[in-house]
């Protein structure tokens, strides 16, 4: 089993990308790519992609395709499903790239929902 986890800043110091990946024989068995926002010193989910076929609430990218869950007040409020077909082996990198390209509107909506202001 090969595991890899890291965080990268999207907008320092309040928004980051969290990446968790487990592989077996080179194939992802579980991953989470999550856009997070720091509110009162606590990291909260803005949106995430995941693949965890063995989990209680897990999803299987090979059967369901990619989807992104969007959060407000710590609760999932919607799911975006209209992503192109992506092979499981490329899905984690696709999700990272998606957030790097599309973080701004997701973060601005999160700020509006939670009445947050930042010095950009």
pLDDT digits (tens, 9 = 90+) for 47-67: 999 999 988 877 899 999 999
| Beta strand residue intervals within the chain, DSSP E | 2-11, 15-24, 27-39, 42-51, 68-72, 75-80
pLDDT band at residue 26 under the 50/70/90 scheme: confident
Q: What is the pTM of this model?
A: 0.92
Cα–Cα distance, 10 to 67 (Å, whole number): 21
What's the mean pLDDT in 80-90?
95
Smallest CA-to-CA distance from 84 within 110, 65, 97, 71 is with 65
Residue pointed to by tokens 């990446």? 19
Mean pLDDT of 67-82: 95
pLDDT at 119 over 70: no
86: Cβ–Cβ under 8 A, 6 or more apart, which residues? 61, 65, 66, 94
pLDDT at 120 over 80: no
């Amino acid at each position: 089993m090969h595991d890899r986890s890291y965080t990268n800043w999207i907008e320092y110091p309040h928004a980051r990308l969290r990446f968790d990946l487990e592989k077996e024989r080179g194939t992802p068995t579980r991953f989470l790519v999550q856009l997070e926002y720091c509110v009162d010193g606590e990291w909260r989910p803005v949106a995430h992609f995941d693949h965890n076929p063995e989990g209680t609430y897990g999803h299987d990218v090979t059967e369901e395709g990619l989807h992104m869950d969007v959060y407000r007040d710590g609760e999932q409020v919607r799911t975006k499903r209209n992503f192109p077909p992506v092979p499981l082996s490329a899905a984690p990198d696709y999700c990272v790239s998606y957030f790097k390209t599309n973080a701004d509107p997701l973060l601005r909506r999160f700020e509006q929902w939670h009445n947050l202001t930042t010095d950009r």
